[in-house]
Amino acid sequence: MIVMKVALVQFAPEFGMVEENLEILEQLCADLRCDLLVLPELCTTGYQFRDRQEASAFAEDKDGPSIKRLAGIAERCGGALVAGIAEASGDQIFNSAALINSDGVLGWYRKVHLFGTEKDCFDPGDLGFPVFDLGEVKLGMMICFDWLFPESARSLALAGAHIIAHPANLVLPYCQNAMITRALENRVFTITCNRIGQEERLPDQRLSFTGRSRMVGPDGTVLTEGPPDKAALITWFINTDRAGDKQITASNNIFADRRPDQYRFEK
């Protein structure tokens, strides 16, 4: 049996205030000890970039200063963390999530399904949905709007993920409840770390982030949830062996019972 202490930090990043946002995270996590910590989407920069040029100005590569600071947080926590950042890669810019420990980057995911004005600022992800090892536990990542596409979580589950870390900046009201289905239909743990607060950096586009960060178990049980409008540090203990059991009844296995020959994969 593998029991992990998992955590998430829900807060309101200030746009463009990278140093200050990292300092807030360091303060919130100062006394935290855990195996895995999940932070929100674009947690170092804030969300609402005006255009691609502005996103490029804040984007960092895998050796950037924010990664080093986040590695320091992971070291003090005694485990690994997943953080959403703006990534620079050559002339491309991605809305990415990094899996980081005290040594630096362990894994990388680039958001596949861009939402709204993200399409004006970022390139669509090109790494698919990889799964990474945390000891004997396998972890996958997706970001915010990826939740709407069941193929995202299913791809990770088919690749062996026990846990799906899900940094988010949610503004629509649907995701938190939908993650019950995503966890249940794949028999995995999901950790959705959403932000709070508001941003209005584009004309007539005021964004209000919905909080309610949520951890869900493989049977669809909501394990714990944050408030809609307050910063929160939330922890929970999970037995990851539960995510290895794909039986939903004595005679039904969610993978063995699939019928890919009957499915349509293209419009």
**CB contact set of 208 (below 8 Å; sequence gap of 6+):** 171, 198
Q: How many CB atoms lie within 10 A of CB 261?
A: 5
Q: Does the annotation count 144 as an active-site position?
A: yes
Helix, strand, or coil (residue 143):
coil
Residue (of 82, 81, 37, 91) closest to 59 by Cα position: 91
**Is 267's pLDDT higher than 90?**
no
Q: Does the annotation count 62 as an active-site position?
A: no
Residue of 121, 144, 175, 193 with catalytic role: 144
Write out pLDDT tens, residues 112-146: 999 999 999 999 999 999 999 999 999 999 999 99
**Is 23's pLDDT higher than 90?**
yes
Residue of 43, 111, 193, 199 with catalytic role: 111
Share of the chain above pLDDT 70, in %: 100
| CA–CA distance, 117 with 136 (Å, rounded to integer) | 38
Write out pLDDT tens, residues 55-88: 999 999 999 999 999 999 999 999 999 999 999 9
Q: Does the annotation count 5 as an active-site position?
A: no
pLDDT for the residue numbered 265: 87
Domains of the chain (ranges plus CATH)? 3-262 (3.60.110.10)
Residue of 41, 60, 87, 118 with catalytic role: 41
